């Protein structure tokens, strides 16, 4: 009987719970594949197989590769948010939280080169696939809004000149951080991240002076 063959941990779980678990494992498997080989080498069948399910299950859940990649982008950003919380990076303490967030991104990302590569792969895929572009744009905006809020907090405390446009500065900071890490991914032995981090932050502090 089918019921007798189910694992003890699965007994009593709802279909929705089992589906959420399967989707999470498939997205993680897809993330790992993208990290190793890039978005163009990802197939739904391989993601299902690597996750420990049938090759057909990802197509049933996600329909196509673009939807799966959009879920991978969400997964990458959620992992980053989780690490911010775990490391207790401040989010509402003016200049201190802003500098801490920038330093954390540059420092933390180097410890996860495969995950960082996967994140860049998926976000860049937004240039080709509208469904990914929609997710990438939303995730970008969340990041920009967070940085802009930190800038406004610092302006209210008098630590950053009031004439600075928070959104424009947030876009510039976001672009700079990703650009720095992209260069490091391509040639890690040519980019001294510690020196780049310190130089970039020092330049920001000078430009922020009231």
Using one digit for the tens of pLDDT, what is the confidence trace for 126-150? 888 888 888 888 888 988 998 999 9
C-alpha–C-alpha distance, residues 137 and 149, integer Å = 18
pLDDT at 207 over 50: yes
Tens-digit pLDDT profile for residues 36-59: 888 888 999 999 999 999 999 999
How would residue 3 be classed by pLDDT, with cut points 50, 70 and 90? very low
How many angstroms separate the CA atoms of 106 and 200, rounded?
A: 11
Residue 88 banded pLDDT, cuts 50, 70, 90: low
> All domains of the chain, ordered by start, with CATH?
10-208 (1.10.357.10)
Quote the percentage of the chain above a pLDDT of 90: 50
Instruction: Report d(CA 89, CA 99) in Å as an integer.
Output: 10
**Residue 112 and residue 187: Cα distance in Å, rounded?**
15
Q: What is the mean pLDDT of the chain?
A: 87
Task: Quote the tokens at residue 178.
Answer: 């990703």
């Amino acid at each position: 009987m089918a019921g007798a063959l189910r694992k003890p941990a699965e007994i009593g779980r709802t279909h929705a719970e089992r589906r959420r678990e399967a989707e999470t494992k498939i997205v993680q498997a897809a993330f790992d594949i993208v990290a190793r080989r890039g978005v163009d080498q990802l197939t739904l069948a391989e993601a299902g197989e690597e996750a420990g399910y049938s090759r057909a299950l990802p197509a049933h859940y996600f329909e196509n590769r673009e939807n799966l990649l959009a879920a991978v982008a969400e997964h990458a950003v959620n992992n980053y948010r989780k690490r911010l919380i775990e490391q207790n990076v401040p989010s509402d303490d003016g200049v201190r939280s802003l500098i801490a967030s920038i330093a954390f991104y540059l420092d933390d990302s180097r410890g996860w080169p495969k995950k960082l590569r996967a994140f860049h792969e998926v976000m860049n895929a937004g240039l080709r696939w509208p469904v990914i572009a929609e997710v990438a744009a939303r995730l970008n905006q969340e990041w920009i809004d967070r940085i802009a809020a930190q800038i406004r907090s610092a302006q209210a405390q008098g630590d950053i000149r009031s004439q600075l446009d928070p959104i424009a500065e947030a876009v510039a900071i976001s672009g700079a951080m990703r650009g720095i890490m992209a260069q490091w991914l391509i040639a890690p032995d040519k980019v001294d991240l510690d020196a780049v981090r310190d130089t970039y932050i020092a330049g920001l502090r000078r430009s922020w002076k009231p």
